[in-house]
Structure 1
């Protein structure tokens, strides 16, 4: 490496060589690592294009960045962020931080289909160095912001899915709450991912630092020392840490290749921009993670090699937008300790008050306005503190090469004096918060927390308790062994330190679909961007214009996660419309889901239609799911065109099915659609007539197989028979042949008792088996001791038979009653839970029919029960009077003669065109036998022979 031995870090090299000889067996690996770190720092410091290493969401990095920007006033800021996200950064001024810049793709082209949807997010907080750079570049005239990192498409090109996910969260962190899911399963792009990838190194640092997790170590040993350092010291220390973690990282070839390709990509983009614009590298600032600042690739620097070729993007169409983020979401996605980002925000505010540095903030950001001094500074380019121009304040490159590491590494830690007022305020506030959440805390607990915090800090070699020490002390002294409320003490400390700040995307930064939703729901008079649940009352009868709001809410309920739009009163069914509705809305809480809907279309109707088509034409679509999309298209979109198209496709899907698994759902949805079309349409749509006709033939073919298939349940076979018998009249009117059904039943030979009962019910419905014969078969089953244990399974089949043959409800009541009367307790008692679960799960719609029939048959009063005789038992009754039949026949003839017009109409329907004839009264039976004695003798002989 050229230029490394020119005296800049010679003293540090000498000290490290001596340390390597003293602590290692020889000047081999350790000396190479230590001297290599110094070489990396020297190389980065000598680079003509100033490299500014940062750590993500680090208050020290943000403070140093704000100070350096006001001193240097660069004309070009190169930022380590996906280059295709640049157009979105101007919309940050319309949001309340933290938010995340997102790239989203629902349909992939060039990636495996199971990766969809693709999502990449880059969270941004106010206490971060990248936000300071963005705010400076966007609000300072003449400054250009250039994003140089790989595009979102290359994120998935270079990293397989298993490595693209975020690192696991800290095991000591509490479970993430709802806000932790704001980023979903998106791949996180982090500026300044500065964490050791060598597990043994991290464990060593945590153990000797007497801390529990990495965030606490960084806060104690990096954040606090660098908070008051000058710019040169900050740069060299961050470069040193980045080089150390890089050289001690495991040699995973795939991970190393991705890191190096990112560095080659960024330097290639920067050199191309410098060549195209002619900008002096001295007027530029390169903001990147410390891990990438200490790079050893050949393309490093403005004079590096131009040998890296950037691969073209895939054909995937990406959508871009801003989504709300939160401290908890950032911690969960990037494996930080719970509360660390909130503590960083608190430290950032304290740094600003202590140093007097004025940070950069986008005009209009979170309602804040630039002060007059800030506008003057921005216009004149003068330093905020000295009043001189930023260009004059920039030292020469030679001055930047001063060795600051030696002094920093040899300097003993600065012992902050104990801020008793601050610690006392924390102790009082946590006790107050604990009492509000149900803890029995008192003033004594506040004193205990105060003293324990100091004790823990002393045990950990700290002069001043950190927020993490205070958190441990509060848990020990207040929580003890129980949590009375919803929040534990650790969570209360996080809230007290700043809470889980949740961002919000402003109206102007929303995609067109989200703005359209807000506009269409404006008549409700609610603050839809506000987090939390709001109640909306819709009196559609008195305000018909609210019907459009109702339509939007029902579509949002169909498209968004549960809880975003929840109906309290009112429902939407086929053929029904509510006149009053009540809703619980939480669109502000689920703003991310609403924004991602905007990536799929420009209106919710378009998105819903696309999703219905995707579901209906998917590879795993069944006839039941396609019919569901038909119902949704009719219910939410009121689109006859789409419903007819999807219904025609349902016919094709049904013809490809080779089983009856979806028969119950198909039967339920076809019945509902038929009822809707029959009541609301003059004629049935052609597709549903074709579906019934084809379904009749289809299920007739599958019925014999379903009876013998062990995987086909009783409910599925009963639903198949329900379709055949329920749709029989319509199918026959459309040209189907009833012989198909009779042949299917005749070819069915089930072996399982419940399916056998179903077959008997089908034979009764077809007239092949009388009720007397069915009753006799059941009696034979009860009389056979070998079959009695299986009799409850026959009853289960009869219960399911109410679906295809509801006329057997009285017989089912009879069969169940006989079972209760005759089955022994060892058989009856184990069957009762099965009967209840069957009625609850599979026969919820059949139970009312059975109960109503039982109420009609059984007596209504308890005293009558003792003398009550079931109607199905044979009872001796009076012999029928033959004259009564003749009298009834005569009354019928007289009735027809009295109303000839009705009889003529019936005769015309039947095709009878004979004229009326007057019937003469004939002789009685005795007179008839007397007139024909030979016939009487022959009849008597025939009866005697039989």
Structure 2
């Protein structure tokens, strides 16, 4: 008991609770005497044990009957079904967020398990990095809260009141309760299953809740790690779910109501008292209890309901509450409920699954599935009819429901304190279950069959081994009958061995065998308007989009143009939901539409994403428009972001006012930018948009013209500083030049002055090699640096040994310049060829890797231009390389041609000298000649030209004198 000082002992609570009734007084004295004999009179153990009895007395003596539960517990659900059938309460106060109440009636249109959800995309009053906000409360049929909901909704005259904090308060108090040493509590547990599913750590079904905070009614788990480890060790179990099933669920499944209540309150009191002193979490839990009791008293005062006809369903942890507002007899001031934030919450139902609930609340894999199997087995064995909503009853056509019947031997009980049921329950050892060999044998046979289907080399011998090992493990753990957990451990040992041949391991197969991962669905009528609209608009595809299997949709848009609206919806869903709808064939770009498309649709499997999309609007067009407008209004929005939004608006929504608004926003963002980091994206997108608009009848709109003129002036102003700024890369400078030179004609036609660009280039004085090369390319483009001068500068670079190591960066700059100055492509090939030819191997070999890496990192997208130009320049065969004379090399002087012989060509030229004279004049070799009839032309430039190129004259003569 050395840890007693860090335990919340609840000193002083006995006075608040009053004297215990005679029923539990004997138990309290026995526990006090035993604790003092064991630990001594000065220890905290007597206070803890007697305080537990006092908590039980206090909860059971309350005028308003308190029903303690544990979430997703079959024992709690069974006790709830029995109690509701016996008591028939008129008002049920349920521990669920009060703002989820309007969703409850929609449960009729769903197949459990589902989760009630509160969702907010835009936060106001919370940290912005928390967005989007999501709070879920999952429900299964084998849960006490669902039994209460089904009873209240299908029983006339019964009122169901949710009294827990709203989703907004859950998030407000989460910030308070998230102290560094506070573990997740039942108030709201964040789920990391979505990220874990993406990493392959859990199946996709376990990620149905995403990263939502989970709200559970009655989470019972020790908050003291040492206590949980102690219970697991001495209970000979591996995890908490197995301990709870073995020592609480099974003993309470057939217990009467007073025993159930006293045991559950005692467990809640134990876990409440044996917990570290963490003030932040304790304050959140106690404020939650004050909140619920304040709402209960407010409703009783407003409705005038009789507390004897009411039932308060809450977690066993809260049933042992010691706050001053506890109970209707309390005279404490009402709890001041803080106002909600300005966050706009949306509410709906999303599909859930057993594995999602297990991952949300830290339960063992398969625990909820096993609980569902226990629930079904107990209902059958005790002939109980649970409460179900009308549309969820098997085979129900709206008929009246039969009330739940009590189990045999379970007499009706009142809600008062009742006799002492704790003492016999604690004195009685666990009743061993008879070994059901037939059931266990069936498990083993079915597992081997399932394992074979999933690639395991399992045999009948493995089934026998699993059976014998299950019995052996149960005996080692002090159990007469093997439990599902014993069977699971034996199956892993005997069947899985050392490898997993497929996607499913043996534990997953056991979960499928013993109950399966039941996955809920939200019915059409319970979906938000947007989701219903999507399903209606995709109905012409003729597919069942609510099934969880992936559907393949084939759209022949050429022969069936009526399917084009379906294609439009699918492309918008692709933009909004990602891979929920995935195109297999077909594309959508500006100015182009596919004539055939193929899609993989997973709308049924990803129903949660479609539901949450419905919280943002009524139609997908409205949601897409809102998202585009919001994207360009973000603080970090840039001109490139706005141009992307313009392109998406044209693709999915068509031209209109939205496009003009987004374009005007792009102009404003471009004018306000003080950096050129996004210049490549701006250039790429404005080129694509202008190319699209040039194919339309109206041409570029006004905003596009203003964008070009604004960009021209903007980049001219920033060009000198960009050349010298170390934070600006060559790619950005090249993109600026690409904008200025590529759109120069359009900009000048709109009134821009080319002199502004010339001045900007003249004022630029870079020092880095790549940007120097870009400046030379810009000067060449503006006719400020002719090509011979550019060759001389590059030759000087290669001749300087100190500059040769930096020559790859010059080449990189020239490659970046191919976008704004594409005519330099032959020159860049020439310079690379000269470098390879002139540099010695001792310099070239270490130099090549750096050149390759530089080009790959800084100009990878422009290298194909160089490759194509090199392919045109150099021969394609090895033999041609040996005799290659590059076009930039000087050709040797040609031998003087022999005088042309007389013939038809000479006669033709003699009779028509004007053509030859004009050609000679164009070549700068004009002269006079006067050939005689039938004689060769006199020597001169024209005659020399004809003599050097006789083929031209011969061809011309052949055309003019056929035959």
Query: Given the two structures, how large is their TM-score scaled by the length of structure 1?
Result: 0.89
Structure 1 residue 760 corresponds to structure 2 residue 801: no
Question: What do the CA deviations read for 1:688-721 (whole angstroms, capped 9, x no partner)?
Answer: 1111111111111222222222222221111111
The structure 2 residue matched to 1:270, chosen from 296, 314, 325, is: 296
Structure 1 residue 714 corresponds to structure 2 residue 730: yes
- Following the alignment from structure 2 to structure 1, what is the Cα–Cα distance between the partners of residues 248 and 621? 52
Superposed, which structure 2 residues align to 1:448-463 within 5 Å? 448-463=465-480
Superposed, which structure 2 residues align to 1:249-268 within 5 Å? 249-268=275-294
Question: Contact (CA 8 Å) 2:188, 2:215: kept in 1 or not?
Answer: no
- Following the alignment from structure 2 to structure 1, what is the Cα–Cα distance between the partners of residues 474 and 406? 37
The structure 1 residue matched to 2:162, chosen from 134, 147, 150, is: 147
Q: Match of 2:136, SS?
A: strand
Question: What do the CA deviations read for 1:323-358 (whole angstroms, capped 9, x no partner)?
Answer: 111112112221222221111111111221222211
The structure 1 residue matched to 2:87, chosen from 69, 72, 84, is: 72
- Following the alignment from structure 1 to structure 2, what is the Cα–Cα distance between the partners of residues 662 and 512? 39
Structure 1 residue 289 corresponds to structure 2 residue 319: no
Structure 1 residue 135 corresponds to structure 2 residue 150: yes
- Following the alignment from structure 1 to structure 2, what is the Cα–Cα distance between the partners of residues 180 and 830? 54
Match of 2:359 in 1: 332
Superposed, which structure 2 residues align to 1:597-608 within 5 Å? 597-608=613-624
- Following the alignment from structure 2 to structure 1, what is the Cα–Cα distance between the partners of residues 364 and 192? 7
> In 2 relative to 1, CA 310–681 (structure 1 residues): closer, same or farther, beyond 3 Å?
same
Structure 1 residue 820 corresponds to structure 2 residue 836: yes
Q: Match of 2:151, SS?
A: helix
Structure 1 residue 786 corresponds to structure 2 residue 807: no
Of the structure 1 ranges 106-115 and 266-275, higher mean CA displacement relative to structure 2 is found in 106-115
Pairwise CA distance, 1:546? 0.7
Structure 1 residue ranges without an equivalent (≥5): 896-921, 927-946
Question: Contact (CA 8 Å) 1:512, 1:598: kept in 2 or not?
Answer: yes
Structure 1 residue 740 corresponds to structure 2 residue 763: no
Pairwise CA distance, 1:861? 3.0
Superposed, which structure 2 residues align to 1:549-628 within 5 Å? 549-560=566-577, 562-628=578-644
The structure 2 residue matched to 1:511, chosen from 515, 528, 539, is: 528
Structure 2 residue ranges without an equivalent (≥5): 1-15, 179-186, 898-908, 931-963
Match of 1:109 in 2: 124
Question: Contact (CA 8 Å) 1:169, 1:337: kept in 2 or not?
Answer: no
Match of 2:419 in 1: 402
Match of 2:251 in 1: 225
The structure 1 residue matched to 2:786, chosen from 750, 765, 770, is: 770
Match of 1:497 in 2: 514
Question: Contact (CA 8 Å) 1:663, 1:716: kept in 2 or not?
Answer: yes
Pairwise CA distance, 1:775? 1.9
Match of 1:913 in 2: none
- Following the alignment from structure 1 to structure 2, what is the Cα–Cα distance between the partners of residues 456 and 806? 78
Question: Contact (CA 8 Å) 1:115, 1:161: kept in 2 or not?
Answer: no
Pairwise CA distance, 1:557? 0.4
> In 2 relative to 1, CA 179–831 (structure 1 residues): closer, same or farther, beyond 3 Å?
farther
Of the structure 1 ranges 700-709 and 97-106, higher mean CA displacement relative to structure 2 is found in 700-709
The structure 2 residue matched to 1:238, chosen from 255, 258, 264, is: 264
> In 2 relative to 1, CA 667–168 (structure 1 residues): closer, same or farther, beyond 3 Å?
closer
Question: Contact (CA 8 Å) 1:343, 1:498: kept in 2 or not?
Answer: yes
Structure 1 residue 466 corresponds to structure 2 residue 483: yes
> In 2 relative to 1, CA 840–637 (structure 1 residues): closer, same or farther, beyond 3 Å?
farther
Match of 1:176 in 2: 202
The structure 1 residue matched to 2:889, chosen from 854, 857, 873, is: 873
Match of 2:63 in 1: 48
Match of 1:57 in 2: 72
Question: Contact (CA 8 Å) 2:191, 2:212: kept in 1 or not?
Answer: no
Of the structure 1 ranges 867-876 and 539-548, higher mean CA displacement relative to structure 2 is found in 867-876
- Following the alignment from structure 1 to structure 2, what is the Cα–Cα distance between the partners of residues 18 and 371? 58
Question: What do the CA deviations read for 1:37-56 (whole angstroms, capped 9, x no partner)?
Answer: 10000011111211111101
> In 2 relative to 1, CA 892–630 (structure 1 residues): closer, same or farther, beyond 3 Å?
farther
Question: What do the CA deviations read for 1:803-833 (whole angstroms, capped 9, x no partner)?
Answer: 1111111112222223333445565556656
The structure 2 residue matched to 1:322, chosen from 326, 337, 349, is: 349
- Following the alignment from structure 1 to structure 2, what is the Cα–Cα distance between the partners of residues 207 and 490? 22
Structure 1 residue 808 corresponds to structure 2 residue 835: no
Of the structure 1 ranges 266-275 and 593-602, higher mean CA displacement relative to structure 2 is found in 266-275
Match of 2:330 in 1: 304
> In 2 relative to 1, CA 386–790 (structure 1 residues): closer, same or farther, beyond 3 Å?
closer
> In 2 relative to 1, CA 63–385 (structure 1 residues): closer, same or farther, beyond 3 Å?
closer
Match of 1:360 in 2: 387
> In 2 relative to 1, CA 343–880 (structure 1 residues): closer, same or farther, beyond 3 Å?
farther
> In 2 relative to 1, CA 823–504 (structure 1 residues): closer, same or farther, beyond 3 Å?
farther
Pairwise CA distance, 1:177? 2.0
Of the structure 1 ranges 602-611 and 400-409, higher mean CA displacement relative to structure 2 is found in 400-409
Query: Given the two structures, how large is their TM-score scaled by the length of structure 2?
Result: 0.88
Question: What do the CA deviations read for 1:487-515 (whole angstroms, capped 9, x no partner)?
Answer: 21111111212222211111000000000
Question: Contact (CA 8 Å) 1:49, 1:281: kept in 2 or not?
Answer: yes
> In 2 relative to 1, CA 48–645 (structure 1 residues): closer, same or farther, beyond 3 Å?
same
Structure 1 residue 796 corresponds to structure 2 residue 812: yes
Superposed, which structure 2 residues align to 1:669-684 within 5 Å? 669-684=685-700
Question: Contact (CA 8 Å) 2:176, 2:280: kept in 1 or not?
Answer: no
> In 2 relative to 1, CA 893–431 (structure 1 residues): closer, same or farther, beyond 3 Å?
same
Match of 2:954 in 1: none
Question: What do the CA deviations read for 1:109-140 (whole angstroms, capped 9, x no partner)?
Answer: 33333332221110011111111111111111
